[in-house]
Amino acid sequence: MNKFLALNDDEKINVQAADIEAAAVEGVSLSTYLNNKYSNIVSKFNGELDAFDIALLSKGIIVKDDMQFGIQSSSMMKFFTTDENRMLFPEFIIRQLRQLTAMPSIINDLVASTRVITGDSAKQVVLDLSNTAAGKKNKQSLKMRRIAEGANIPVAELKLGETSIKIYKYGIGVKATYEVLRRTTIDMFRKQMELVTVQAAYDEVGAVIDVILNGDGNTNSAVVYKATDLNSDAKEGKLDEVTLVKFLVKQAPFNFDTLIVDEDVYTQICTILLDKNFTNAINPKIGFEFPQGLLNNLRVVYSEDLGLDSSSKHQVIGLAKNYAIEKTIEAGSTINEVSKTIENQTQLAVITENAGFNKIDSRASAILQLA
């Protein structure tokens, strides 16, 4: 960044109130508006800076530390030293929120896909495996098999779920007084904002767990396997290797590649890994392959939302991640706002979205009950 600290006069961008009003009229962000208006200046920086970055540097506002060159980011109060600087603050915060919410999060490890809908409700497409050929309802008949000449071919049918997906508003805000902002660098503020969004993603895991356990309203709560039914030697509240492997293959052909566990089970899994180190005790030179994908790498996700009540205590959630859960977002519901409270001299940044979670295929998730 150091090479851009000293801008020539013909490289500077000074944002005016008219620019903010024009962006609002056009229905675009201030960043987009400035990029279009000052494309000739932006082109000079070969994609390293956009127009808003240049506008910040034009006012001497440095947003990142660069210890290599001994450069420290500006104080947050730099935004409030002049009226022109103050106009840049809302867009700066909104840009941080956009960037942070687009970062990889723990939700990405649990959700197969994200669907954007219009309106505040939608029905999920489900695969009906009940074969209606010859007036029969027999799931087993849908397995591919030899068909006699002239016989009906078993057909699976795509249908709409009976109940609409539940959409809820999720949101989180950050408030800071001018006194706090005065003592905080922009780079440190950005790190604190990142921590907030990380926590928000962890909080969403609870909503995913609820849908897995209880279903999305379409009579598709997760099937529960008792550890003692899978392994007669299983001990109360303990996860052992035999029970785990039997659980992973129980929903074949789905590959349980993700586990959601509480702190106790997370510790037990780590202990199994450390004790066994996954080496082949018979002959280290012999390798094993599992072409069905039933025993490949496992993604283990810790969640404090498991075990909060007696119904989910000592439970392990298994997911075939690519077929289990979909996130649904209402189009246009994501809102980034920055407001100022004059009375107590605070700044408030808020991000909200209307979203819900639903099951893609109920067979792609299950519960292992350890106790």
Of 295, 367, 356, 360, the closest CA to residue 323 belongs to 360
Query: What's the chain's Rg over C-alpha atoms?
Result: 27
Low-confidence ranges of the chain (pLDDT < 70): 1-5, 101-104, 119-165, 172, 273-296, 307-312, 332-351
- Determine phi and psi for 59, rounding to 5 degrees: -100, 10
Strand boundaries in the chain, DSSP class E: 113-117, 123-128, 157-164, 168-177, 223-226, 258-261, 299-302, 315-319, 325-330, 335-341, 346-359, 365-369
- How far, in Å, are 59, 197, 350 from residue 115 at the CA level? 40, 21, 23
Reading the block at residue 114, the tokens are 């994200």
**DSSP type of residue 75:** B
pLDDT of residue 341: 53
pLDDT of residue 30: 93
pLDDT of residue 282: 47
Contact 219, 364 (CB under 8 A): no
- How far, in Å, are 42, 45, 128, 307 from residue 49 at the CA level? 7, 6, 51, 47
Contact 276, 241 (CB under 8 A): yes
Residue carrying structure tokens 């992973």: 248
Reading the block at residue 104, the tokens are 């990889």
Q: Give the whole-angstrom CA distance, residue 366 versus residue 313.
A: 15
pLDDT of residue 140: 47
Helices (H), 255-311: 263-276
pLDDT of residue 139: 46
pLDDT of residue 6: 72
pLDDT of residue 80: 85
Q: Give the whole-angstrom CA distance, residue 370 versus residue 246.
A: 13
pLDDT of residue 124: 66
pTM score above 0.95: no
